Amino acid sequence: MSPPLEHDYIGLSELHSPAAAVGGGGAEDGALNLKDTELRLGLPGSDSSDRKDKVALTLGLLPKIFVSGAKRGFSDTIDGAGKWGLAAGGGGSEVEAGKSCALFSPRGERGGGGHGNAGNDAVGKAVGHERKDTGQVGDSAGNDRGVAPAAKAQVVGWPPIRSYRKNTMATNPSKNKEDANGKQGLGCLYVKVSMDGAPYLRKVDLKTYSNYKEFSLALEKMFSGFTIGQCGSHGIPGRDGLSESRLMDFLSGSEYVLTYEDRDGDWMLVGDVPWEMFTDSCRRLRIMKGSDAIGLAPRAMEKCRNRN
């Protein structure tokens, strides 16, 4: 077993030791585990689907804070094939409203530095970053996910590029696939809908609904089939399907939060603006685990900080 990583403080080493965390299920050949140790930092990359099992299992061993990151990474795998797994939302312009913990930073840019090292430093840096972020401006929309969503160091206002300019780049079809989401043709408006924990995304035509109520009912129906193999807050993997009560809580309860990315690249809470305005500006949707948005994440931050 390789020694724990230098900056490990959340039990990452369990993930990185070949024999360890992932030990439970899935195909465990050494090669795969090596891939795990390499840079994934617990986040699924563009691996094959048996990774999903590993994800479920590793989640059991990791504190809750990794859940959303892991999930998103996986759904991104489906979505952004070929992109490095840690790309959040297919590299879309996700300007996070909250100060997410930059636990994972995109590598690749590290150029020469060995992969492992880069991983270390990424974590180390992210730790430092995270510490600074904690307890800081949660910023407006309360999208305080608090933890590395699939490894993009999404910090408010960073990198320092004007949203105006981001729009400019976003409109260039050769550069941003996500733009295809919002394309209208012949009176339909298909946008992608992702849900934390779901293995794949869906697309909905916003034009077929006339108000929020219809829309949320349709979403519930659409996503009721998914098994959410997530840890509950006790770290126990659950395999419940979405129960009736969960469905009810879908949008209005604490279980899930429905958010969308608007034309400016900002993540907004669904329901604030009139329906027409929403369909006009919505580019894609994300059904977030409510606990990622509030409450749990800051506590996890606390824990991390105290350990260091």
Partner 1 sequence: MVGGFRWAAMFPDEVWEHVFSFLPADADRNAAALVCRAWYRIEQRSRWRVFVGNCYAVEPAAAVRRFPEVRAAAIKGKPHFADFNLVPSDWGGGAEAWVEAMAEGWPHLEELRLKRMVVSDDCLELIARCFKNFKVLSLVSCEGFSTAGLAAIAANCRNLRELNLHENEVEDNCLHWMSHFPESFTSLVTLNIACLEGEVNVYVLERLIGRCPNLKTLRLNHSVPIQRLVGLLHRAPQLVDLGTGKFAAQHHPELFSTLESAIAGCKNLKSLSGFWEAGPTYLPAIYSVMDLIEDDGLIAVAASCKLLQELRVFPSDPYGAAQPISLTEHGLVAISAGCPMLHSVLYFCRQMTNSALLTVAKNCPNFTCFRLCIMEPHTPDYITRQPLDAGFSAIVESCKHLRRLSLSGLLTDLVFKSIGASANCLEMLSVAFAGDGDAGLHYILSGCKNLRKLEIRDCPFGDQPLLDNAAKLETMRSLWMSSCSVTLGACRQLARKMPLLNVEVINERKRGLPLELQPDNCPVEKLYIYRTVAGPRSDTPSCVWILR
Which residues of this chain interact with partner 1, rule CB under 8 A? 83-84, 86-89, 91-95, 99, 102, 105-113, 117, 121, 125, 128-129, 132-133, 135-140, 151-166, 168-169, 171-176, 266
Q: Give the SS3 label for residue 62.
A: coil
Least Å from the CB of residue 21 to partner 1? 24
Give every CB contact of residue 214 below 8 A, 6+ residues apart in sequence: none
Nearest residue (CB) to partner 1, 56 versus 87: 87
- In terms of CB distance, is 139 or 220 closer to partner 1? 139
Cα gap 80→73, rounded to integer Å: 10
- Please report the DSSP string for 90-141 in residue order: GG---B-SS---------STTTTS-HHHHHHHHHHHHHHHHHHHTTS---TT
**Do residues 284 and 192 make contact, with C-beta atoms less than 8 angstroms apart?**
yes
CB of 113 to partner 1, least distance (A): 6
> What is the closest distance, in whole angstroms, from the C-beta atom of residue 82 to partner 1 in the complex?
9
Nearer CB in complex with partner 1: 143/230: 143
Q: Is the Cβ of residue 3 or residue 164 nearer to partner 1 in the bound state?
A: 164
Residue 129 one-letter amino acid: H
Nearer to partner 1, 26 or 85 (CB): 85
**To the nearest whole angstrom, how small is the minimum distance from the Cβ of residue 239 to partner 1?**
30
**Residue 129 beta carbon to partner 1: minimum distance, rounded to whole angstroms:** 6
Nearer to partner 1, 217 or 294 (CB): 294
Alpha-carbon torsion 73, 62, 60, 248, what sign?
A: negative
Per DSSP, 237 falls in state B
As measured in angstroms, the least distance from the Cβ of 158 to partner 1 is 7
Which region holds residue 197: left if phi is over 0, alpha if psi is between -120 and 50, else beta?
left
E-only strand ranges, 150-252? 184-185, 188-195, 202-205
Crossing angle, helix 115-133 and helix 296-307, to 10 degrees? 110
Closer of 78 and 222 to partner 1 (Cβ): 78
Residue 8 neighbours by CB under 8 Å, 6+ apart: 16, 123
Shortest distance (Å) from residue 8 CB to partner 1? 18
